């Protein structure tokens, strides 16, 4: 019996890479994806190989409708079988929206963060796949004024999660994971993450592996669809006035 096949978008590094590794360790073969050709993080590949999983790399610009539509068929052709699980992890996150976003920025975010996951999910359903997990953001529960185009597109994806869960049932289950601050960028000051962790109801920030564990659970949760699991230290229960990078500085 062949291993189930998972496609994780945006998985050459960071959170998507850790999700791919966790799925490989749980018995999946994995298709790694990036916007353009390149080499995935060597540690991610090594961990996938150590898990005994087969992997292959794919480049597709999710802002390009034709490239998005071709991705699921390309993965299925490479592995010689259907894609069983889709993890929509890739995101557009632009920091040029200090005030209200421009129409161009809105289109850019919605294309990658909402439309592309929809196209990929329906393509997965069309070739007999079984599950979709959308990576969202804890801010969908209590949005703030920063990065509005990104926030609106993630809210749209959260609603698409519920709507697609109904539209694709009973053949395909569609769920979401909403992480909090997980892998910080270089924009954070020394000690800021510790101060932010203390602001969470659980007084901790989630790890990438904890987010990946939630993805793995939903991938096999046969009686769950249309659900969103928050992995955020409780941040989704609280209204923060700004994006985390602006707090506890």
pLDDT, one tens digit per residue, over 126-145 is 999 999 999 999 999 999 99
pLDDT tier for residue 98 given thresholds of 50, 70 and 90: low
- Is the pLDDT score of 99 beyond 90? no
Give the rounded percent of residues in the chain with a pLDDT score beyond 70: 98
DSSP string, the chain: -PPPEEEETT-SSHHHHHHHHHHHHTT-EEEEEESSS----HHHHHHHHHTT--EEEEE--TTSHHHHHHHHHHHHHHHTS---EEEE---------SSSPPHHHHHHHHIIIIIHHHHHHHHHHHTT--EEEEE--GGGTS--SSSHHHHHHHHHHHHHHHHHHHHSTTT-EEEEEEE-S-S--TTSPTTHHHHHHHHSTTSSPPPHHHHHHHHHHHHH-TT--S-EEEESTTGGGS--SS-GGGS--
- Would you say 31 and 6 are in contact if contact means Cβ atoms under 8 Å apart? yes
Sign of the Cα torsion 235, 240, 246, 247 reads: negative
CATH code of the region 5-246: 3.40.50.720
pTM of the model: 0.97
How many other β-carbons are positioned within 10 Å of the β-carbon of residue 168?
Answer: 20
pLDDT, position 233 = 98
The model's pLDDT over 65-86, given as tens digits with 9 standing for 90+, comes to 999 999 999 999 999 999 999 9
- Would you say 69 and 52 are in contact if contact means Cβ atoms under 8 Å apart? no
Closest residue by Cα to residue 85 from 56, 114, 128, 55: 128
Average pLDDT on 179-186 reads 95
CA distance 238 to 135: 20
| Domain ranges, ordered by start, for the chain | 5-246
pLDDT, position 1 = 64
The model's pLDDT over 208-241, given as tens digits with 9 standing for 90+, comes to 999 999 999 999 999 999 999 999 999 999 999 9
Closest residue by Cα to residue 8 from 90, 119, 109: 90
The model's pLDDT over 192-210, given as tens digits with 9 standing for 90+, comes to 999 999 999 999 999 999 9
Q: How many CA atoms lie within 13 A of 171 on its CB side?
A: 12
Mean pLDDT of the chain: 97
- CA 148: distance to chain centroid? 18
- Would you say 192 and 249 are in contact if contact means Cβ atoms under 8 Å apart? yes
CA distance 212 to 87: 10
Closest residue by Cα to residue 173 from 161, 182, 185: 161
Instruction: Show Cβ contacts of residue 228 under 8 Å, excluding neighbours closer than 6 positions.
Output: 136, 140, 158, 161, 175, 176, 177, 178
């Amino acid at each position: 019996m062949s291993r189930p096949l998972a496609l994780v978008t945006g998985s050459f590094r960071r959170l998507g890479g850790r999700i791919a590794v966790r799925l490989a360790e749980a018995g999946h073969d994995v298709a790694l994806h990036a916007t353009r050709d390149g080499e995935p993080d060597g540690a991610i590949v090594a961990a996938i190989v150590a898990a005994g999983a087969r992997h292959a790399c794919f480049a597709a610009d999710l802002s390009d409708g034709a490239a998005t539509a071709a991705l699921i068929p390309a993965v299925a052709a490479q592995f010689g079988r259907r894609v069983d699980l889709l993890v929509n992890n890739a995101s557009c996150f632009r920091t040029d929206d200090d005030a209200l976003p421009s129409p161009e920025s809105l289109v850019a975010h919605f294309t990658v963060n909402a439309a592309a996951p929809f196209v990929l999910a329906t393509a997965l359903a069309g070739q007999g796949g079984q599950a979709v997990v959308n990576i969202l953001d804890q801010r969908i529960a209590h949005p703030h004024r920063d990065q509005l185009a990104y926030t609106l597109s993630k809210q749209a994806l959260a609603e698409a999660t519920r709507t697609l869960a109904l539209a694709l049932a009973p053949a395909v289950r569609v769920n979401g994971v909403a992480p909090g601050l997980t892998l910080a960028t270089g924009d954070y000051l020394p000690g800021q993450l510790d101060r932010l962790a203390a602001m969470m109801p659980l007084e901790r920030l989630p790890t990438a592996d904890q987010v990946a564990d939630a993805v793995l659970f939903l991938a096999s949760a046969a009686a769950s669809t249309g659900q969103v699991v928050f992995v955020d230290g409780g941040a989704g229960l609280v209204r923060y006035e700004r994006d985390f990078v602006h707090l506890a500085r």
